[in-house]
Amino acid sequence: MKNSAVLSVLGAGILWGLIGLFVHILAGKGFDPLQITTLRVTAAMILTALIVGRRDVGQFAIRPRDSWMFFGNGVVGLVFFNYCYFNAIAGGSLAIAALLLYTAPAFVMLMSVALFHEKLTKEKAVALIMTFIGCGCITGAFAGNLFVSRQTLLYGLASGFGYALYSIFGKPATQKYSPVTVSLWCFIFAAAFTLPFSGLADKLDLFADWQVWGGILGISLISCVLPNVLYMNGLQKLEAGHAAILATVEPVVAAIVSFLFLGEAFSLQKLLGIVLILAAVPVLSRTANKK
């Protein structure tokens, strides 16, 4: 495993962890979760298309028979998991929803073993357990009452499954296309699917606010375009299971951001969670170096 690939995935996780700041801005202006998702993928599509247009228009090209990869990556990987995640939050608490979302590495590892014939080693299992417990500590899910409805539980697990499919569909795509091409078509499919149902046409007056545009730029460029390209670049050289666990640095960053900027409490339990998640990274790196 090359250090550049590890750094790419870690960088993606860090940038994804900043998304809460921009969601907070847009939600405060009156956009609902589906509309925020639509703004994110649509703006990301436009920005990525501009980048591709300036660098190499040849990267627009894909084979029609490969469309299923980008549909899975964009609609299932981005849209589906966001829809389920926000429903889990609405039906329970953010702590429980976030913990259920980060069951994704477990789904990735199991599907990677079945689809890509990756080995489920002892080191991977240890890293997975450390990551899962760390996420639970950061979200605070281990500290209180975890009773949730069956619907909330199913939405939460479905969000983790959808998040995992982002890696599963992205893996074969990165074997055939550049990270920029994969990201572009992921956004194209996601935007085409969400725009007709978003209801953004009813909120055109909100776009007169410059803070809305700042939130859109942040959620699309900083927390979507750049991390997507970084993650796909890392996925070219890493096993999907490794990449999924490395990317769980995201809740670490999210916890720090929520403490510094959103006024949420930062306890010793959250600190323990950060340590556990970061400690899982060298466990995976050592395993890959042995291989």
Burial class (CB in 10 A: 0-12, 13-18, 19+), 248: buried
192 pLDDT above the threshold of 80: yes
Whole-angstrom distance, CA of residue 242 vs CA of residue 230? 15
81 is written with which tokens? 């998991």
Percent of the chain at pLDDT exceeding 90: 22
Helix (H) or strand (E) holding 277: helix 268-290
Q: Stretch 24-29: mean pLDDT, rounded?
A: 86
Q: How far out from the chain centre does Cα 168 lie?
A: 13
Q: How sure is the predictor about 284, in pLDDT bands with cuts at 50, 70 and 90?
A: low
Residues sharing a CB contact under 8 Å with residue 260, sequence separation 6 or more, in sequence order? none
| Radius of gyration (C-alpha) of the chain in whole angstroms | 18
Whole-angstrom distance, CA of residue 211 vs CA of residue 216? 9
pLDDT at 43: 94
pLDDT at 102: 72
pLDDT at 96: 67
Kindly report the number of other CB atoms within 10 A of residue 48's CB atom.
25
pLDDT at 143: 65
Q: Stretch 24-53: mean pLDDT, rounded?
A: 89
Of 43-52, 139-148, 177-186, the range with the lowest mean pLDDT is 139-148
Cα-based distances in Å from 81 to 1, 34, 101, 177:
28, 11, 9, 24
pLDDT at 71: 92
Burial class (CB in 10 A: 0-12, 13-18, 19+), 69: buried
pLDDT at 287: 53
101 pLDDT above the threshold of 80: no
Residues sharing a CB contact under 8 Å with residue 96, sequence separation 6 or more, in sequence order? 88, 139, 141, 146, 148, 152, 156
Model confidence pLDDT, tens digit, residues 156-166: 888 888 888 87
Residue appearing with tokens 């199913």: 154
Whole-angstrom distance, CA of residue 81 vs CA of residue 44? 17
Q: Which of 177-181, 264-268, 276-280, 281-285 has the highest mean pLDDT?
A: 177-181
Residue appearing with tokens 């990987």: 77
User: Smallest Cα–Cα separation from 192: which of 20, 70, 42, 64?
Assistant: 42
pLDDT at 49: 92
Its pTM stands at 0.78
pLDDT at 188: 94
1 pLDDT above the threshold of 60: no
